[in-house]
């Protein structure tokens, strides 16, 4: 109910939809537009990782922040995808293919995730240094928030099914991978 009527920018289509299901007025916009939108009142808030806070000056443009307690899980999971056109890859010299191959896969994915998560403390500290209030959403409240937002998952599964994929299986696989490889961290 705290988000009712607030204009909030979400980082993805699904999170933006979810914000609507929990009472906010969802606003889609690119990350670089956040500072202007906050300063002009186009949005009242945004969902971003702590690591991004200093680069878009959210700690200077707001006084209040929220995060889930570690035991409550995270609001969402970020996925990094680096891809290359197969024909372009095949046209590369073997030594260049080897460089790409040596910097791909699970190890690179883990490194990217650790790098992003490793920058979160500096972003949080920027808000703390300005004496901004950081509210910790309890595990119980986080579960209620997630319960209200389940409709996003239902819609996503239906969309995948319409596209000829097994949406339920894809969702279960994603959950299993997050459980296996994810590290619970506070959502921002």
Exposure letters 6-25 (e unless 16+ CB within 10 A, then b):
ebbbbbeeebbbbbbebebe
| CA–CA gap between residue 171 and residue 17 (Å, rounded) | 17
| CA–CA gap between residue 161 and residue 150 (Å, rounded) | 17
| CA–CA gap between residue 157 and residue 151 (Å, rounded) | 10
| Mean pLDDT, the chain, integer | 89
pLDDT for 141 = 87
CB 17 within 8 A of CB 155: yes
Enter the pTM of the model. Answer: 0.77
| CA–CA gap between residue 22 and residue 152 (Å, rounded) | 11
Query: pLDDT by residue (tens digit) across 121-165?
Result: 999 999 999 999 999 999 888 888 888 878 889 999 999 999 999
Query: pLDDT by residue (tens digit) across 44-73?
Result: 999 999 999 999 999 999 999 999 888 777
pLDDT for 183 = 61
Domain boundary assignment for the chain: 151-187
Instruction: Write out 26-43 in H/E/C secondary structure.
Output: EECCCHHHHHHHHHHCCC
Longest dimension (CA), the chain: 57
Residue with tokens 């339920």: 168
């Amino acid at each position: 109910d705290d988000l009712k009527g607030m204009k909030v920018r979400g980082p993805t289509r699904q999170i933006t939809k979810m914000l609507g299901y929990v009472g906010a007025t969802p606003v889609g916009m690119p990350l670089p537009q956040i500072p202007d939108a906050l300063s002009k009142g186009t949005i009242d808030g945004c969902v971003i990782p702590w690591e991004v806070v200093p680069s878009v000056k959210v700690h200077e443009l707001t006084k209040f922040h929220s995060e889930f307690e570690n035991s409550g899980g995270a609001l969402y999971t970020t996925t990094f995808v680096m891809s290359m056109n197969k024909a372009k890859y095949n046209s590369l010299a073997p030594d260049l293919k080897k460089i790409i191959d040596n910097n791909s896969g699970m190890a690179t994915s883990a490194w990217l995730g650790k790098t992003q998560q490793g920058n979160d403390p500096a972003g949080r500290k920027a808000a703390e240094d300005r004496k901004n209030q950081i509210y910790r959403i309890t595990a119980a409240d986080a579960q209620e928030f997630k319960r209200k937002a389940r409709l996003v998952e239902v819609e996503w599964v239906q969309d995948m099914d319409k596209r000829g994929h097994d949406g339920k299986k894809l969702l279960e696989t994603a959950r299993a991978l997050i459980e296996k490889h994810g590290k619970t961290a506070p959502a921002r």
